[in-house]
Amino acid sequence: MQFYLRSALVVLGLLVLQTTFIQWMELGGVVPDILFVWLMYIAITRGQIDATVAGFTVGLLQDLATTQFFGLAALAKTVSGFVGGYFYNENKTEIMLGTYRFVLVTMICSVVHNLIYFGIFFQGIDGGVLVPLLRYTMTTTLYTGAVSALPMFAFFRKYLTA
């Protein structure tokens, strides 16, 4: 119960950050998805089912907070949470979190997330979907991956330097 309450508070805090201060970090129209980094943390520490449900919940909240398509972030985060759950290994959680593997997992799942999200988001625009889809998928993945290095360093200090 305590875990769920703590998670709810963390998600709300991250949602406020994502919709306000993260705009400062905008580079060429691309912002990192910090809620996605949290989702990857859940996938690695809690497994596939928790990550799938958490992805859906967080995505739905993100959909409510933006004026974009309702249900789109929920869909993308549900699937990417599920994919992230494949990297769950109860005995290797600390190694997964505190090494480059966390960044790698985040980036792999971010590609899945962004392909679904932008693939639907860009439907109907002039000039074709493929070029903006690849452009935004790559840049957002790289940016989110770079941001995921910050918690990775924190986990490294917490778990692997003792």
Partner 1 sequence: MNALLERLYGLLLTFKEYVILSFLVVVSLVLLALNDTVQVQRLRSIATVVLGLTQEQLSFIPRYFGLIEENELLRRTNIELADEASRLREAKLENLRLRQLLGLKQQSTYQLVAARIVSKNLTLLRNTITLNVGTNDGIRPSMPVLSDAGLVGVVVAVNQGYSVAHLLLNVDFRASAKVQRSRVDGIVAWDGTSLQLTNIAKTLDVKVGDVIITSEYSSTYPPGMRIGTVKEVKEQPATLFKIVTIEPSVDFVRLEEVFVMTAVPDRDKIELEAQVGQRR
Question: Residue 161: how many CB atoms within 10 A of its CB?
Answer: 7
Site string for partner 1, 21-60 (x = CB under 8 A): x-xx-x--x-x----------------xx--xx-xx--xx
CB closer to partner 1, 2 vs 67: 67
Q: Which secondary-structure segment (H or E) carries 133? A: helix 130-155
Residues 70-129 that bind partner 1 (CB under 8 A): 70-72, 74-75, 78-79, 82, 85, 120-122, 125-127
Q: How many CA atoms lie within 13 A of 52 on its CB side?
A: 8
Residue 13 binds to partner 1 (criterion: CB under 8 A): no
φ, ψ at 27 (rounded to 5°): -125, 110
Of 10 and 149, nearer to partner 1 (C-beta) is 10
In the complex, least distance from residue 140 CB atom to partner 1, rounded to whole angstroms: 10
Going by C-beta distance under 8 Å and a sequence separation of 6 or more, which residues neighbour residue 156? Answer: 98, 99
